[in-house]
């Protein structure tokens, strides 16, 4: 979901509804194939993204802390995103000083702070609640747009937001009842992570149009990777970088590739084929896949509270995004 949002303003919808009566049957197969391929890419990309929380929760079982864990993830992801930025920037003008300043600011807020706060919050709350909180991102983007630019919104937006937030509050209330203050701290950290990513989305529009989505994502995430490495160097002894269980290292490799770089590319390819709106709708499988994996892999309980909260969040975001279009 996050990747679909971060590229929303840089892509155009796939023209899948331009068929006419008498359209040649052989040429009409291409849009159908493109639609199916785009839906598959969007779905598997959302599922891969949702696996991030599962991997983080598994790694915490081996006694690693958030600073070390995010450093390992970003260390393995750094070459991938650096190559992505280089590839997207071939034959294009160099970045100006203002561009570098903008890219650095977006990398720090949208990826470094957002990722670190998310990792830290997952120490205290379930993967299911984390995913539901992150799914509120579109509502925060609208609120920031209203606060910063006085962009109007309608009553149906408010209705969608109210439904979604009621769903999160329902799941959080149950978890806070069981876990106490830790659940409140974890939810606050993840919600702050969602705010910082919403700031990235609000301010990234002009840079996306000027640099391109792939180049901006590659550069901003490279900045975030370097920030995570610097944070570890300042807060932890360098000798402890790999003084962790081997399982943590392999989980970090999996997180950096299958749950970070690969879904970014898959969602981008989906948007090229079916557009950001349909990609975002398909991405609604994300919370459901997170809950399913948390039950099957993490042995987290699936309760009526989680089921009701998930239905409310997805329904509210569906209403919200439909109204936005």
Residue 322's CB is within 10 A of a number of other CB atoms, namely 12
Q: Distance between CA 49 and CA 300 in Å, rounded?
A: 19
The count of C-alpha atoms lying within 13 angstroms of the C-alpha of 16, restricted to the half-sphere facing its C-beta, is: 22
Mean pLDDT (the chain) is: 83
Q: Distance between CA 104 and CA 98 in Å, rounded?
A: 10
Residue 122 has pLDDT above 70, yes or no: yes
Q: Distance between CA 279 and CA 18 in Å, rounded?
A: 19
116-131: average pLDDT: 93
More confident residue, 232 or 205: 232
Judge whether 225 lies within some domain: yes
Judge whether 272 lies within some domain: yes
For 133-182, the pLDDT digits (tens) are 988 888 888 888 888 877 777 888 888 889 999 999 999 998 888 888 89
3-state DSSP helix/strand/coil % of the chain, to nearest 5: 80, 0, 20
Q: How confident is the model at residue 31 (pLDDT cuts 50, 70, 90)?
A: low
Identify the domain containing residue 76 by its residue range.
43-324
Which of 116, 125, 216 has its CA nearest to residue 172? 125
Judge whether 275 lies within some domain: yes
Judge whether 269 lies within some domain: yes
Judge whether 16 lies within some domain: no
Q: Distance between CA 22 and CA 141 in Å, rounded?
A: 43
Percent of the chain exceeding pLDDT 70 equals: 87
Judge whether 187 lies within some domain: yes
Q: How confident is the model at residue 240 (pLDDT cuts 50, 70, 90)?
A: confident
192-206: average pLDDT: 87
Given this model, what pLDDT does residue 277 score? 61
Percent of the chain exceeding pLDDT 90 equals: 39
Alpha helices in 22-126 (DSSP H): 29-60, 66-88, 97-106, 114-121
| Beta carbons of 154 and 320 less than 8 angstroms apart | no
Given this model, what pLDDT does residue 323 score? 61
Given this model, what pLDDT does residue 228 score? 95
Residue 57 has pLDDT above 60, yes or no: yes
Given this model, what pLDDT does residue 205 score? 76
Q: Which two tokens stand for residue 60?
A: 């915490």
* pLDDT-wise least confident of 27-41, 93-107, 299-313: 27-41
Judge whether 17 lies within some domain: no
Residue 183 has pLDDT above 70, yes or no: yes
257-279: average pLDDT: 79
Residue 122 neighbours by CB under 8 Å, 6+ apart: 53, 56, 57, 60, 130, 186, 190
What is the crossing angle of helices 213-235 and 262-282, to 10°?
120
Total number of domains constituting the chain: 1
Given this model, what pLDDT does residue 26 score? 42
Q: Distance between CA 7 and CA 22 in Å, rounded?
A: 35
54-74: average pLDDT: 94
Given this model, what pLDDT does residue 35 score? 80
Residue 29 has pLDDT above 90, yes or no: no
Say whether 11 sits in a helix, a strand or coil. coil
Given this model, what pLDDT does residue 203 score? 85
Given this model, what pLDDT does residue 236 score? 92
- The C-alpha torsion from 23 through 29 and 31 to 32, rounded to 10°, is 120
Q: Distance between CA 137 and CA 118 in Å, rounded?
A: 13
Q: Distance between CA 2 and CA 313 in Å, rounded?
A: 16
More confident residue, 145 or 30: 145
Judge whether 147 lies within some domain: yes
Given this model, what pLDDT does residue 285 score? 82
Q: Distance between CA 157 and CA 213 in Å, rounded?
A: 27
Q: Concatenated DSSP letters for 202-229?
A: HH-HHHHHHH-HHHHHHHHHHHHHHHHH
Given this model, what pLDDT does residue 282 score? 76
CA distances in angstroms from 232 to 68, 75, 229, 256, 275, listed in the order given: 7, 11, 5, 17, 38
């Amino acid at each position: 979901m996050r990747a679909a949002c971060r590229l929303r303003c840089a892509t155009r919808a796939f023209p899948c509804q331009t068929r006419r009566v008498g359209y040649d049957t052989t040429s009409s197969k291409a849009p159908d194939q493109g639609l199916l391929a785009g839906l598959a890419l969007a779905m598997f990309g959302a599922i891969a993204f949702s696996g991030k929380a599962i991997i983080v929760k598994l790694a915490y079982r081996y006694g690693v802390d958030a600073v070390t864990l995010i450093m390992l993830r970003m260390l393995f992801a750094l070459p991938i995103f650096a190559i992505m930025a280089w590839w997207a920037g071939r034959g294009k003008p160099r970045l100006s000083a203002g561009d570098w300043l903008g890219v650095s600011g977006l990398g720090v807020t949208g990826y470094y702070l957002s990722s670190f706060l998310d990792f830290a919050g997952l120490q205290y709350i379930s993967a299911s609640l984390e995913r539901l909180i992150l799914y509120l991102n579109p509502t925060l983007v609208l609120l920031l747009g209203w606060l910063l630019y006085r962009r109007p919104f309608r009553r149906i937006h408010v209705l969608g937001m109210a439904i979604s937030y009621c769903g999160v509050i329902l799941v959080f209330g149950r978890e806070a009842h069981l876990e106490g203050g830790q659940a409140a701290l974890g939810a606050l950290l993840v919600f702050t992570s969602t705010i910082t990513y919403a700031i990235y989305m609000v301010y990234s529009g002009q840079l996306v149009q000027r640099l391109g989505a792939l180049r901006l994502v590659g550069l901003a995430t490279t900045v975030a990777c370097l920030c995570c490495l610097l944070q570890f160097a300042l807060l932890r002894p360098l000798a402890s970088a790999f003084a962790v269980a081997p399982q943590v290292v392999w989980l970090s490799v999996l997180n950096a590739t299958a749950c970070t770089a690969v879904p970014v590319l898959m969602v981008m390819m989906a948007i090229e084929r079916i557009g950001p709106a349909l990609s975002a709708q398909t991405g609604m499988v994300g919370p459901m896949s997170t809950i399913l994996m948390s039950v099957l892999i993490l042995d987290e309980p699936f309760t009526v509270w989680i089921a009701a909260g998930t239905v409310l969040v997805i329904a509210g975001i569906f209403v919200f995004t439909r109204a936005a279009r």
